[in-house]
């Protein structure tokens, strides 16, 4: 049956060509430190033959080494806790009552959803996006239809911005969290669809930005994905282990290290570290220097160069041939990991086009080798 003409775009499917190659070693997680003693430690146990003082050397070395190890562990733990509590002091610090309860709840759901390296996949929804047949259904279906992506749902945290969306989330997924409005925030219909660049849309984007900073402060790395993104393969294999921030872009200039790429905050990996928390703090503080109607990714595009250089943050921009979108459309499904309905406004248009793209993917994977 011929498909309806897409509202925003059309994707062409190439002949299928599947690969069983494993994840490149450059994107594999770092190896755990070796538990074998070092040469220095082994040398400390050597005894000079015939010297009585030499027989005491192993005992002295053992206790000295144990004391130094304990001191370094204590110092590292204290420093780690200190910078996280200092970061909370900038506005994320849990207070009494509901606020403290919310932070404890968020920390718990992050722990339950995280991978071994404390990385969590995060998306956010409201009632309109979570409605049956809307974006959430397509988003989850893409994980199940993708190549090796179904298991990633165990590490997906869905953040709901209204109670109705939370109820829907809990009916279809394990890890859900309700993001409560900030104290003093203006009343808004959080469950309705938000039109691009309206005040409600901008408020939602900056609230999302604040949540991401809080996740980093709690000690978790995250891969944030908009709910209008389909997952066909694991995109983490395209994120370098040396990257502090890896972000998509609407138009890729060919250089993943070029800070002249314009970022798209709808697909964003950030490693939890002191420098990335400071990066977020600088990003948020820079908002005051822009007109009120400026969204968070436009602010980032202007400040990413000085912030990254000052803080030593390594940014990576993701190739649209791998983490793609409608703005710079890739017609080769053989290398595509994700597809974003960017450059496409309106909820109905996004749902229409993403449903067609997902059907194209199913046709592609069902075709003969």
Q: Is residue 75 part of a domain?
A: no
Q: How much is the pLDDT for 159?
A: 96
pLDDT given for residue 293 in this prediction:
80
Asked whether 256 and 316 are in contact (CB, 8 A), the reply is: yes
Tell me how far apart the alpha carbons of residues 177 and 110 are, in angstroms, rounded to a whole number: 9
CATH code for position 186: 3.90.550.10
At residue 17, does pLDDT exceed 50?
no
DSSP assignment of 191-209, as one string? TS---TTSHHHHHHHHHHH
Q: How far is residue 29 CA from its own chain's centroid?
A: 15
Task: Domain of residue 248: give its range.
Answer: 103-364
Q: Does residue 50 have a pLDDT over 90?
A: no
* Buried-exposed string 15-34: b where 16+ CB fall within 10 A, e elsewhere: eeeeeeeeeeeeeeeeeeee
| Residues 82-132 pLDDT 10s | 344 333 433 344 444 555 666 889 999 999 999 999 999 999 999 999 999
**CB distance 6 to 356 below 8 Å:** yes
| pLDDT reading at 28 higher than 90 | no
pLDDT in tens, 107-116: 999 999 999 9
Please count the structural domains in the chain. Answer: 1
pLDDT over threshold 90, residue 35: no
User: What number is the average pLDDT over the span 268-296?
Assistant: 93
On whether the pTM is more than 0.85, the answer is: no
- How far apart are the C-alpha atoms of 153 and 55, rounded to whole Å? 57
pLDDT given at position 187 = 47
**CA separation, residue 147 to residues 120, 232, 255, 258, 361 (Å):** 19, 6, 27, 30, 11
Residue 62 lies in a domain: no
Say which DSSP state 154 is in: G
In a domain? residue 164: yes
């Amino acid at each position: 049956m011929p498909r309806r003409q897409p509202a925003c775009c059309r994707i062409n499917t190439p002949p299928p060509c599947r690969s069983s190659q494993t994840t490149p070693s450059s994107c594999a997680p770092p190896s755990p430190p070796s538990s074998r003693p070092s040469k220095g430690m082994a040398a400390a146990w050597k005894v000079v033959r015939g010297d009585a003082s030499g027989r005491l050397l192993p005992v002295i070395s053992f206790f000295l080494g144990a004391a130094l190890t304990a001191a370094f562990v204590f110092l590292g733990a204290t420093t780690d806790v200190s910078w996280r509590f200092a970061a909370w002091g900038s506005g994320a610090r849990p207070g009494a009552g509901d606020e403290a309860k919310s932070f404890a709840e968020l920390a718990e759901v992050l722990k339950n959803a995280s991978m071994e390296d404390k990385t969590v996949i995060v998306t956010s929804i409201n009632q309109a996006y979570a409605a049956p047949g809307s974006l959430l259904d397509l988003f989850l279906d893409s994980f199940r239809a993708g190549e090796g992506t179904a298991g990633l749902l165990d590490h997906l945290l869905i953040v709901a911005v209204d109670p109705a969306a939370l109820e829907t989330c809990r009916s279809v997924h394990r890890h859900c969290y309700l993001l409560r409005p900030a104290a003093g925030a203006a009343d808004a219909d959080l469950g309705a669809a938000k039109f691009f660049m309206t005040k409600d849309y901008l408020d939602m984007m900056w609230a999302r930005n604040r949540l991401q900073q809080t996740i980093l402060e709690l000690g978790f790395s995250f891969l944030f994905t908009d709910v209008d993104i389909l997952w066909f393969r694991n995109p983490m294999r395209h994120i370098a282990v040396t990257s502090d921030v890896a972000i998509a872009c609407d138009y890729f200039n060919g250089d993943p290290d070029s800070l002249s790429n314009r970022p798209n905050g709808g697909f964003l990996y950030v490693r939890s570290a002191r420098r990335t928390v400071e990066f977020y703090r600088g990003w948020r503080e820079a908002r005051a220097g822009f007109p009120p109607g400026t969204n968070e990714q436009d602010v980032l595009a202007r400040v990413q160069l000085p912030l990254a250089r000052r803080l030593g943050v390594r940014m990576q921009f993701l190739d649209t041939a791998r983490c793609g979108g409608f703005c710079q459309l890739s017609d080769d499904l053989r290398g595509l990991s994700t597809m974003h309905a960017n450059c496409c406004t309106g909820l109905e248009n996004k749902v229409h086009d993403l449903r067609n793209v997902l059907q194209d993917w199913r046709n592609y994977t069902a075709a003969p080798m």
